[in-house]
Amino acid sequence: MNSHEYTDEELINQFQAGNESAYLELVERFKNRLFSFIYRFVGDVDLAEDLLQDTLVKVYTHKHSYREIAKFSTWIYTIAGNLARTELRKRRRRATFSMSALGLGGRELELPSPDHTPSKIHEGVQTEAAIQRALAQLPLHFRTVVILRDVQELSYDEISKIMKIPLGTVKSRVNRARLRLQEILSNLDENRRNKA
């Protein structure tokens, strides 16, 4: 059986039994998803990579604390989310976190849009920058739900388990977070137009 045919839960079971290649398969499956989740959370590429590494190291060293009562994805998102939140709190305490910094780390941008004309690329970068700035302005509990729902496309049920809050609270929080995000982006847009 090919390792691609195993479920995440089967792979972690194999890893718990000592199969290291099952761990590498899980890393391959989750690294990009988790990276975009953490990046949207912290808004800094290098920090997102470091936190992703911390998350995957934790999965390796704490593999036996995973129990099959939960989905593997719920477990790993919980670890990543907790690490990202802790880091953000630390940074806030140190007051060195610059919300305006996009923190792209000098790395080149790859646009998901199929249209790669220079003007479209510029527009895409602008939009992404604006969205990242708006996300950074959201309170942490709103940011978390909107990233889990709209970036990671997780179900309300899974978000409720990750955040340990009732399903109804998740739904209302997602709605309020989306409205707040829309409000922030409208204001940013208005400011930009006024400056122009």
- Per-residue mark of binding to another protein, 30-59 (x: CB under 8 A): -xx--xx--xx----x---x--xx--xx--
Q: Which of 18, 117, 118, 119 binds another protein (CB under 8 A)?
A: 18
Binding mask 68-107 toward another protein (x if CB under 8 A, else -) reads ------------------------------------x--x
CB of 51 to another protein, least distance (A): 12
| Sign for the pseudo-dihedral over CA of 145, 146, 148, 149 | positive
191 binds another protein (CB under 8 A): no
Coil/strand/helix, residue 67: coil
Closest CB to another protein among residues 70, 188 = 188
Residue 187 interacting with another protein (CB under 8 A)? no
185-195 b/e (C-beta count within 10 Å ≥ 16 → b):
beebeeeeeee
Q: With contacts defined by CB under 8 A, name the span among 2-10, 83-91, 136-144, 174-182 that binds another protein.
A: 174-182
Site track 104-143 with another protein (rule: CB under 8 A), x = hit = x--x-xxxxx----------xx-xx--x------------
Look up residue 152 and give its DSSP letter: S
How many Å apart are CA 79 and CA 10, to the nearest integer? 19
Q: Where are the alpha helices (DSSP H) in the chain?
A: 8-16, 20-42, 45-61, 72-94, 118-137, 140-146, 156-163, 167-195
| Terminal Cα distance for the chain, rounded | 60
Residues 48, 51, 52, 58, Cα dihedral to 10°: -170
- 141 phi-psi bin (left φ>0, alpha ψ -120 to 50, beta other): alpha
* CB nearer to another protein: pick between 95 and 152: 152
Binding site for another protein (CB under 8 A): 17-18, 24, 27-28, 31-32, 35-36, 39-40, 45, 49, 52-53, 56-57, 60-61, 64, 104, 107, 109-113, 124-125, 127-128, 131, 146-147, 149-151, 153, 156, 171, 174-175, 178-179, 181-182, 185-186
